[in-house]
Structure 1
Amino acid sequence: MLGTSQPVARLHLIGPLALTDADGAPCTPRGQKACALLALLALAPRRQRTRVWLRDKLWSDSSDRNASTSLRQTIFELRRDLGDLFDQILEVDRQTLGLRPGALWIDIHAVEENSALLAASGLSAETDLLEGIDIGDPEFEDWLLLERQGWHDARERLAERAARAPATAAAPAPPSASVAMPKAGRISLGLMPHILQGCDDQTAFVADHLMESIVRNLGELHPIAVYDFRDAGGPSDRLIGAGDTEYFLRVRTLQVHGSLTLTFFFHLAETMTLAWSQSIQADRSEVLTPDSQILAGFVTQNADRLSREIERRRPAPAQQGTSTLLTGYTALNMMFRLDRNALQNAETMLAGAKGSAGGVLMPALSAYATSFRVGENLGSLAKSGEDETRAIVADVLRDSPFNSVALACLGHAVGYVLRDHEQARGLLERALQLNPHQAFVWDHYALNRIYAGDYKTAIEAARRAVSIGAYSPLSYTYDTTLAMAATMAGQDGQAIAASRAALSKQPRFAAAMRYLLVNLSKTGREDEAREVFENLLLRDPEFTDPAVQKARFRISQADREDDLIAAVRRISG
């Protein structure tokens, strides 16, 4: 588990449970079960528990299946209430939930380290642990009774220690609570209440999961401000600035027996009209599968369409003043135009966006841009360029990024440009843990596994990227990665089909040409291969040089590299 250098939030367990961010603004979850989940983790050894243990404490009277569904729903509620803070303080995987080391200041642990804090905080000796929490589960109540008994014993020891200790200055009070005002230069979204028709206990949460996954994907490429109107009883201070909302999003879930129809609606706030909607129909069991590719594909389809819609509706720079709202989506699409001028313009824009609302994404994209100079012959990368890439990666990682796209960009730069495939793997696997619904991340994980020689994992990841990213403007790159993985796995037919799919969408993509050339050569289709080779030389005239060929393929296994070069040589002569 990766920690952070400074706490990003404060959790109070002595007295009523309360959570505040680093500025003191309240962000306590609305649901009792969500609050209890935080408490269970905060008081756990190593701040971590298994999903099974948590289910047994909060839903002991439910079946395993229903308890698992309830836990997932509570996690979704936490993500909804905490927003960006969720990924900064929590780590979630298939087996466990935990708090990130150092990310959360917890009062009971701070008091145990410094007994003077108890008096300085204004708490009386009679203040109990988790006052007012009421879950109604006997297993949780038994756990709470033991924890309170432990707190009573600790309180007596702390009082004795404080009495023996010399007087000390009062500890500084935490920052006073403040209302978070809307941030300038962000795209504002309003989340409307869902429409649920015929849903049961297990499918009622799907709308939340779909909405939050779409917003998460969008937020990793655009600077956004989100106003949540789904719960009319939520804190009103979270809606400050909501009058400037530009777009409203809504989800409808219709269940008829074992079938679910999910519809996503995109409304324009200015005219209060429906701009568009998209629907899918699927079997209930397919949607409820934890790794549902149907749901993941619908998430990415809507996030990509939202991105295109937002880009299309952005005011021209002259209307916005001297600056324009640069998004990661804009920068990525400029890079993937595969044009030297477009790449230079993207790099210039990214350099000017340092310190902008894009956070860690913009410098991560700057590092990512270096891979185009190496792989697409859109310039050269000198030693100073590698050093700059290393410096960017180090700077971004010091900020402990929680943006899966940023981590994928860094991972690709570290692996493809700097050839450190093990560090790249760690970054990409962390990105997948943060957001398994980003086709861009799956694609770059597949690339990393190709470079490292793990072709079985590579082809599985590439197929997932192609599946869930089918509607992305970058889908041709996902097809190309599948072609690469299939080539290495000896699946020539799959490689040829995927390469042709990529080139039908982006005829200038040299990487797709290289792998189509190799597989046509390997299967004896020399005339077709020669035509591809001639087209490739128009894009990359230096590709006749074997040293350049090795630099473009960048395969770490010498025997596989030799096979690729030999296939090219059969055509190039």
Structure 2
Amino acid sequence: MDNRPLTLRISLLGPLRMVGAKGDVLTPKGAKNQALLALLALSPGMSRPRRWIEDKLWSTFGPEQASANLRQALSKLRSALGDHADALRADRTTVSLDRKQIWVDSLDDVLPLDDRVELLQGIDVRDPEFEEWLRMERAALSTRIARAKPTPATGILIHCNALAEDPGRERMMGEILANQIGENISEQIRAWRQDRDLPDGLSNLPPSDVTISTQLVPDDTGHSVFIKAVHQSSGRILYSKLQHVDRLNDILETEVSVGKTVFEAADQIIGKLPQVLEGTRPETRATALSRLGLYRMFSFERSALREAYGLMKQAYDHDNNGVYLAWTALIRTIQIVELAEDDAAGLREEAVELHYKALESGTDNALVQALAAKIKGTALRDGAGFFELAKRAVERNPANAIAWNSLAEAHLFAGQFDQALAASKRASHIASTSPFKHWWDTGRCLIAIACNKPDEAIEAGEAATRSAPLSRPAHRQLLALYALQGDLDKARAVADKLTKIEPGFSLDRLVNDASYPVTTLRKNGMLEPIRALL
């Protein structure tokens, strides 16, 4: 597999500009040379036949002269690329760019929502074929920007109801469970729970987008609960599950297995909403963008974190929901911890500002509180604020795994190790069906390390790497833990894996670089056994 990083950044919005991996400006001189670069950058697969390019740039020339002009332009473009010359490829029939090395701003998911932005501003090629191509590309860009412009988000309507043989207590518990799922959804995206049991004179309501229903049936050892979520206009089932509860109070108290079901249901419903809701709705677009942003964020890779930041910002552009600001603040914090960017002070300042803005618009949102709590602890080192927000988030929604994770970290910050490990275990259990479960398992691994429980830490770390084989944070912990246990073969295997998945990794850096992100291992003196591998 070709794992070369993106080393060239081509800006086509405004005047053409090309920048190398070290920030060096590599923009070629000459309108035709710049046009050649733009034609390739915007072509399918960044590749075109030589004759097609010649027709766009030298349409008034004969074939032999056009071919000679193209050869000369390719030579000048290759010279401008310098150390990146291998990104330009040409044979007797085709010219292409290596798209695995190149990022192009106009192809990015995140576009500036400004009609005044012009593609290839100021370029003057003076060829009628190129001018026609440029006109079409500018029109396509304008259409994309128009479609991306946000309109006011009204929110997704969710109707929660319950069926029960006993219309009293059983129905009430069913409604509580359905509403817990609806609330979990409305914390993550703009959604409203809709009450349809209104007097006749007030019953002219807009149709619900989603109905979440529960049905409780008593059995020999408690109750069977059937949960179903349906997209109303299509009848598609978004989620269904049959579960047993020993006591009805398990629902009232959000016992851990109930919390797991609530979290799972909300997660799966949200994941499918962009597939069933009208794509032009801003909340649909914001949901899709934020969901993709989470997948990118939880990979912890440098380029993916940058993409996640852009996706969350665009989600907020579509729907001014404070939760997207809170996620963006967390992304900045992860970039600091993972040493993914150079300006740590600037990232910290931005994360703090974003978390304040998120709290202003999401004061009653448990997810916003939980994410903001992490910024309080990591960026501001405010232990009291950390614990207060995390505790409030858990009390507001005990089925929120992120809230439990924040509370676990707040306990750890305060030196309350037993409480930290208990809260972390609960968070991992609630989130055990999440596509991002490795994040909670990695958190549990770190807290077990802090509690000096290496066996529990290994169990959690291995769970994280099973669900996310390329997760660098979990592998870092396991390397040290295996060495600590004397299992040097396993430690070497993990070191080899890290060498492949983490650019710049080395055992020497892990052990001797105080800035390398293994703070908990270093504080607990668990890095020394790795020296046996050096």
TM range (shorter): 0.5 to 0.7
Partner of 1:211: 178
Partner of 2:162: 194
Partner of 1:12: none
Residue 303 (structure 2) aligned to one of 320, 324, 341:
341
Give, in whole Å, the separation in 1 of the partners of 2:187 and 2:370. Answer: 11
Give, in whole Å, the separation in 2 of the partners of 1:321 and 1:427. Answer: 29
Change (3 A) 1:333 1:421: farther
Q: Give 3-state SS (helix, strand or coil) of 1:248's partner.
A: strand
Deviation, structure 1 residue 263? 1.0
Deviation, structure 1 residue 185? 5.2
Give, in whole Å, the separation in 2 of the partners of 1:226 and 1:562. Answer: 47
Instruction: Report whether the alignment pairs 1:385 with 2:353.
Output: no
Over residues 394-440 of structure 1, what are the superposed CA-to-partner deviations in whole Å (9 max), with x where a residue is unaligned? 33334462211112222222322443333222221221122111012
Partner of 1:277: 240
Over residues 16-39 of structure 1, what are the superposed CA-to-partner deviations in whole Å (9 max), with x where a residue is unaligned? xxxxxxxxxxxxxxxxxxxxxxxx
Over residues 108-143 of structure 1, what are the superposed CA-to-partner deviations in whole Å (9 max), with x where a residue is unaligned? xxxxxxxxxxxxxxxxxxxxxxxxxxxxxxxxxxxx
**More contact order relative to length (CA 8 Å, sep ≥ 6):** 1
Kept after mapping to 2: 8 A contact 1:251/1:264: yes
Tell me, which stretches of 5 or more residues in structure 1 are unaligned? 1-181
Kept after mapping to 1: 8 A contact 2:477/2:518: no
Q: Which amino acid aligns with 2:519?
A: R
Over residues 376-402 of structure 1, what are the superposed CA-to-partner deviations in whole Å (9 max), with x where a residue is unaligned? 343344322222222223333344622
Give, in whole Å, the separation in 2 of the partners of 1:570 and 1:286. Answer: 54
Partner of 1:324: 285
Give, in whole Å, the separation in 2 of the partners of 1:216 and 1:502. Answer: 28
- What does 1:473-552 correspond to in 2, within 5 Å? 473-538=435-500, 539=502, 541-542=504-505, 544-545=508-509, 546=511, 548=513, 550-552=515-517
Kept after mapping to 2: 8 A contact 1:492/1:519: yes
Instruction: Report whether the alignment pairs 1:306 with 2:275.
Output: no
Give, in whole Å, the separation in 2 of the partners of 1:426 and 1:355. Answer: 30
Change (3 A) 1:433 1:323: closer
Partner of 1:122: none
Q: Which amino acid aligns with 2:285?
A: T
Give, in whole Å, the separation in 2 of the partners of 1:490 and 1:202. Answer: 45
Q: Give 3-state SS (helix, strand or coil) of 1:528's partner.
A: helix
Change (3 A) 1:569 1:433: farther
Change (3 A) 1:518 1:272: same
Partner of 1:255: 218
Tell me, which stretches of 5 or more residues in structure 2 are unaligned? 1-150
Give, in whole Å, the separation in 2 of the partners of 1:345 and 1:481. Answer: 23
Q: Give 3-state SS (helix, strand or coil) of 1:436's partner.
A: coil
Change (3 A) 1:490 1:295: same
Q: Give 3-state SS (helix, strand or coil) of 1:184's partner.
A: coil
Give, in whole Å, the separation in 1 of the partners of 2:156 and 2:378. Answer: 33
Change (3 A) 1:236 1:570: farther
Change (3 A) 1:472 1:234: farther
Give, in whole Å, the separation in 2 of the partners of 1:323 and 1:300. Answer: 20
Give, in whole Å, the separation in 2 of the partners of 1:554 and 1:531. Answer: 22
Deviation, structure 1 residue 356? 4.9
Give, in whole Å, the separation in 1 of the partners of 2:526 and 2:382. Answer: 22
Change (3 A) 1:464 1:562: closer
Give, in whole Å, the separation in 1 of the partners of 2:153 and 2:354. Answer: 26
- What does 1:82-161 correspond to in 2, within 5 Å? none
- Between the two proteins, the alignment pairs up a number of residues equal to 380
Give, in whole Å, the separation in 1 of the partners of 2:199 and 2:405. Answer: 41
Partner of 2:433: 471
Q: Which amino acid aligns with 2:286?
A: L
CA RMSD after TM alignment: 3.0
Q: Give 3-state SS (helix, strand or coil) of 2:526's partner.
A: helix
Change (3 A) 1:323 1:249: closer
Deviation, structure 1 residue 461? 0.6
Over residues 6-65 of structure 1, what are the superposed CA-to-partner deviations in whole Å (9 max), with x where a residue is unaligned? xxxxxxxxxxxxxxxxxxxxxxxxxxxxxxxxxxxxxxxxxxxxxxxxxxxxxxxxxxxx
Kept after mapping to 2: 8 A contact 1:360/1:401: no
Partner of 2:37: none
Deviation, structure 1 residue 333? 2.7
Kept after mapping to 2: 8 A contact 1:377/1:540: no
Give, in whole Å, the separation in 2 of the partners of 1:481 and 1:517. Answer: 16
Kept after mapping to 2: 8 A contact 1:185/1:325: no
Change (3 A) 1:490 1:509: same
Partner of 2:256: 293
Give, in whole Å, the separation in 2 of the partners of 1:391 and 1:303. Answer: 29
Give, in whole Å, the separation in 1 of the partners of 2:411 and 2:498. Answer: 25
Partner of 2:188: 221
Change (3 A) 1:442 1:363: same
Partner of 1:267: 230
Deviation, structure 1 residue 505? 0.7
Give, in whole Å, the separation in 2 of the partners of 1:275 and 1:321. Answer: 20
Residue 456 (structure 1) aligned to one of 400, 418, 427:
418
Kept after mapping to 2: 8 A contact 1:446/1:461: yes
TM-score normalised by the chain length of structure 1: 0.60
Deviation, structure 1 residue 456? 0.8
Deviation, structure 1 residue 493? 2.0
Change (3 A) 1:405 1:498: same
TM-score normalised by the chain length of structure 2: 0.64
Q: Give 3-state SS (helix, strand or coil) of 1:389's partner.
A: helix
Kept after mapping to 1: 8 A contact 2:164/2:170: no
Deviation, structure 1 residue 502? 0.7
Q: Which amino acid aligns with 1:431?
A: A
Kept after mapping to 2: 8 A contact 1:376/1:510: no
Give, in whole Å, the separation in 1 of the partners of 2:400 and 2:282. Answer: 33
Kept after mapping to 2: 8 A contact 1:203/1:288: no
Kept after mapping to 2: 8 A contact 1:260/1:281: yes
Change (3 A) 1:396 1:286: closer
Give, in whole Å, the separation in 2 of the partners of 1:322 and 1:289. Answer: 31
Deviation, structure 1 residue 218? 0.7
Give, in whole Å, the separation in 2 of the partners of 1:284 and 1:410. Answer: 34
Q: Give 3-state SS (helix, strand or coil) of 1:563's partner.
A: coil
Over residues 84-109 of structure 1, what are the superposed CA-to-partner deviations in whole Å (9 max), with x where a residue is unaligned? xxxxxxxxxxxxxxxxxxxxxxxxxx
Q: Which amino acid aligns with 2:156?
A: I
Kept after mapping to 1: 8 A contact 2:458/2:481: yes
Give, in whole Å, the separation in 2 of the partners of 1:554 and 1:268. Answer: 46
